Every structure is written in C-alpha cells, then in structure tokens.
Amino acid sequence: MSKLRKLAFGALLRIRKYAGLKGRGGIYFYAIIVGSFSAFIAAIFQKCTQLILSLLTGTKGGHFVEAFEQIEPWQRIFSLSLGGVISGLILLFASKKMRKKATPYMEAVAIGNGYIPMRSNLLRSLAAIVTIGSGASIGREGPLVQTATVFASWFGRKVNMPLPRLRLFIACAAAGGMSAVFHTPLAGGLFVCEIVIGVMSIDILAPLLIASCSSYVTVITFSDPSPLYEISSAHLTQNASVALFALALGVISSLLAKLWLSALASMRAFLNGNQYWLPFRLMLTGAVVGGISIFYPEIVGNGAHIIRGIVSADFSIEQVFALLCFKIFAVALFFGMGAIGGVLTPSLTIGNMAGFLFAHILIALGVPLTTEEIIGFSLLGMAAFFTTAAAAPITSLLLVVEFTLAGKMIFPLTIGVLASYFVSKITHTKSMYAASVSGNMLPAFNKPMGEVKIGNIFRKSLDTVLISDRFSSISKRFLRSSDDVIFVTTKKKKYIGAIFRSDIIQFLKSEYLSEVIAEDIMRTDVPTLSPETCIIDAIKVFSGTRYEALPMVDTSGIFKGTIYKSDIITGFSEVLRRERVSG
C-alpha cells in the first residue's frame, strides 16, 4: 500500500468515525432528522385513516363524528363492522404467516436490542389504519408512533449504529411521533423519557426533546400550528378551597383510572381468545359500537370531539354521563377483542369527562362554579386520570398544559396530578404501558440489585472478526461501522482479543500491511465480563477502565456479545428506580 493510499485510508477511517456522529453532537443531528421524518409519517398515517373513513362512509373531510352524523344508521354499523373484519384478517395473516413477530417499540427501546421487524409491524399498522379509519373508539397515536419507530430501527441498523445509540434513535422517533400527533414539543420528549425509558437524565432527555421540537417545527411548517385544544376560558381560582377540590379530584380520578385499567385487563383476558376468531370478534365489536353510535355518534373516534365539546360547553351533564359510560365500554371492548390502536387519547377523554362530572357534583352540593371553572376541573380530571393510567405525572401535567395552553392553571393541575400519582402508588396500580415497557425482561429488573445479571437483561450484537482476517478486511469493517471496537474470535467463536479503531489508524504507519492480520493488531488485555456478572460488579469493571464497550465471554471462553457502558448504567438506574418505588 503506497504512502498516499495509506494517508487516504487513514483519513477515511477518521471521517467514518466522525461520520458515525458519536457523542452528543452526533445523536443531536440524528434526532433532528428522525424528528422531522416522524412528522411526515404522522401526516401520511392521518391521511390514510381519512381515506379509509371516506371509502367506508362516502363522506369527505376526515372528521369521524361529523361523518357518522351524515350517514344512515345502517351505514354506521356497516362501516365499523367491515373495518373490523378487514383489520382482523390482516392481523390474522400477520400472526400466522410472518416468521418474525411484531415487537412493540417500547420493548425495543427499554429492554430490547433495537430490532423492530418491519413486515409484521407494518401489517399491524395497516390493520390499525383500517380499524381507526372505520370509526373505532380508539386513538391513532400508538400505531402511528410504532410505524415511525419501525423505519427508525431499519435505518439505524443499516448505518450500523451501536446498540445504545440505536435504542436512543428509536426513542427519538417515538418522541417525534408523539409531538406530531399532539402538537406538544415538550410533552412528546418527556413521554418517551418518563414512560418508556424510565430514566430522567439530560443526556437522554436532550436528544428526545430535540427530536420532538424538530417534529413540531415540521408540523407547523406544513399545517395549522394551533394547539389541539386551545382553551382560553379555563380558570380555577388560586385558593385553599380549590386546592382541596383538586386534591379530591386527583384521588377520585386515580381510583377511576385503576378501575378502567382493570376493565381493560379483564376484557383482554376473557374476550381475546382463539386467533382464528379475530375477524369475527372485531366485526361483532364494530356492530355493537356502531349500534351505540346511532344514538351517540360522539362515541366513534378517539374522543377528541368529546373533549372539544366539553370545553366549548356543548354537552349537558346527562349527555356527558352517558358518553362516559359508553366510551369506557367501547374502548374496553375494542382492545379486549384484539384491535390495534392507541389508548392515550381515550384515557384523556375519560379523564376529561370525569372532571366535568365532578364539577357538576360540586354545584349540586352548593358550590358555585362558573363555566370557566367547570372547564378547569375537566382539564384537571384529564391530567389526573392520565397520571394513574400512564404512571407519568410530569408528562401528564405538561401534556395538558401544552395542548390547551392552560398554563395559568398550573397550581391546581399540579395538586391533582400529585394526588393521583400518590394514590396510584398506594393502590399498586400498574400503568397501561407496563407490559410493553417491561416485556419479558420484567423478572430480571424486579430482582434485588445484587441478583441482577447482565446476561439476563441485555441482548447483544455479535460483530466479530477471525484471528486470521487480514488488515484490509478489518479496516473495511471499521469503515462500515461507527463502533470503535471489534472483537476477535476463532471460527468456533472463542474470544481472543479486541481491535480498536485507533489501533487500525496506528498500523497504517507499518510498511508491510499486506501481511498484517488480526492477531498482530489485537489487544489481549481488555477486561471481559461473564453473563453471570452482577450488574454492580460490571459497573466496577467499567469504572476501572477507559473503554466504553467490553466483550461478554462465558466460562468456556465463548464470545457472547458486546456490553456497552451506557447500557449497564441504564439498567442499573432502572433496577434502582424499581427498588426505590417498591421500598
């Protein structure tokens, strides 16, 4: 290799290192890109649901309640039933024909390896589009965000992102999707940080917020920048009596949320049986909800119409009570029967109606309330209910404040949210996202700190080279990957050593590169970790070395994967958080 070629090759290796965009600057760049991309995914997803609605109802405009009010009663039943059949057939096909099963993005970010299968997940997104577009009483945010994270996972693996960065990149896509749905640049990032990752760190939160804000900028550039539920009339007086009322509503909302979550779990347990009956179950669900919509068309859709009606004082107390009962039943029925959709907006809707009814109970007890104060209590109920449902007090608070612009209500909202969160902990309420975030790794995280092994928590990459591989082959591997280390093994995967990018660059000074092999470059003094290593001991090993990644080797010397320092710290934080809560 000529001197000029060596210089060029060394420059490429250095460029690849920085093109990998390591460090904060790199992930910030990726966060901007994926945030904007998530906004476009959100727009496409919404257009697709509007198209399905137009096809099934023969109306235009994309507003579910208005569309159902324009069509005949039999068409309401037909739309929801046909949507259920088609969605069920798609889901049945995905479950039976797709070799790789769908992976929730929450699991991939929280405890997974960042791999989200594309085909099976996109089929589920298609099923969700059909279900939502037919008028089902569920939200669109869940499958929309899932769709954005599918493409983020694919892109991250294509550019060979290290595992910790891939997880964070997918989390940024989720934050961007949430921001695009709700027009909430702050709450979008906090949602993922608080609920999905569970660790509130500026190193994690900053890229999430950047992705969320990037998504929001994209949204307001091409569409209406107004908040979803801008409410200028909501008001609660800042005094002791309102504080007590807020406290009481927080407690009531938390208990109601616990009952609702129990209803969802019970419906899933009793109704979601044999998969072959899924199309029929969803058709039956559509027919039942379609029948209800003949008398209460507001029951269709995600509930946004109900929230706008309450804050505009369009509903009577009798109407809201009936809608609350039917909405709880419809949402539980759809999810119990196996429909794919979001549960966030329905949760906010139920909480909003609960707060509205609470205000009217106060009026019946002789407490004088203005229309502005009734709306204020409806927003407070929304935040308090979602706090228990999602186990996310900070996200709940900011979410309601952002998409209503009711910042002057921050004091009573805070009291209601904290009361709800406190009650949820006393009653040991599991959030509606608990299963997705924990996945099948929950037992490992629930063990005492001293019993948590790194082999039980992390799924590792297996990028290695053979001890006899030549310098040119190893260098090309580094050009394709942004990792700073590649581990050396035998053909039988026995661990030998490690090669770092800096070693490759240093060896470019050698005169005999054509004869250099992995054995000549590798380091044999790099510490190793066993799958049985306790997470605390792993932290001690990392603290005593400058390396950001170490090999995991079993007792027989077989290489099992790469353990990243950031993963160990994140896992430690998760176990510590659970121990603090349970203690």
Q: What is the DSSP string of 514-546?
A: GG-BHHHH-BS----B-TT-BHHHHHHHHHTSS
Continuous segment of H or E residues that includes residue 10: helix 3-19
Statement to judge: residues 306 and 245 lie in one domain: yes
Do the domain assignments include residue 387? yes
342 DSSP β-pair partners? 139
Statement to judge: residues 430 and 451 lie in one domain: no
Do the domain assignments include residue 1? no
> What is the C-alpha to C-alpha distance for residues 220 and 561, in angstroms, rounded to an integer?
43
* DSSP symbol at 489: E
Give me the pLDDT at residue 583, please.
45
Statement to judge: residues 52 and 124 lie in one domain: yes
- Answer yes or no: are the C-beta atoms of 488 and 466 closer than 8 Å: yes
Flag whether the pTM goes above 0.85: no
Do the domain assignments include residue 452? yes
Give me the pLDDT at residue 548, please.
81
Statement to judge: residues 430 and 459 lie in one domain: no
- Answer yes or no: are the C-beta atoms of 463 and 481 closer than 8 Å: yes
Domain that holds residue 575: 446-582
Torsion sign, CA atoms 465, 471, 473, 476? positive
Statement to judge: residues 202 and 273 lie in one domain: no
Statement to judge: residues 389 and 415 lie in one domain: yes
Closest CA to 108 of 187, 182, 169: 169
> What is the C-alpha to C-alpha distance for residues 402 and 412, in angstroms, rounded to an integer?
16
Do the domain assignments include residue 6? no
Statement to judge: residues 353 and 269 lie in one domain: yes
Statement to judge: residues 30 and 116 lie in one domain: yes
Continuous segment of H or E residues that includes residue 464: strand 464-466
| Regions of the chain where pLDDT drops below 50 | 1, 437-443, 581-583
> What is the C-alpha to C-alpha distance for residues 245 and 230, in angstroms, rounded to an integer?
24
Question: How many CA atoms lie less than 13 Å away from 173 in the CB half-sphere?
Answer: 31
> Which of 166, 188, 222 is the last residue before a domain boundary?
222
Domain count, the chain: 3
Statement to judge: residues 294 and 413 lie in one domain: yes
Give me the pLDDT at residue 21, please.
52
Give me the pLDDT at residue 458, please.
61
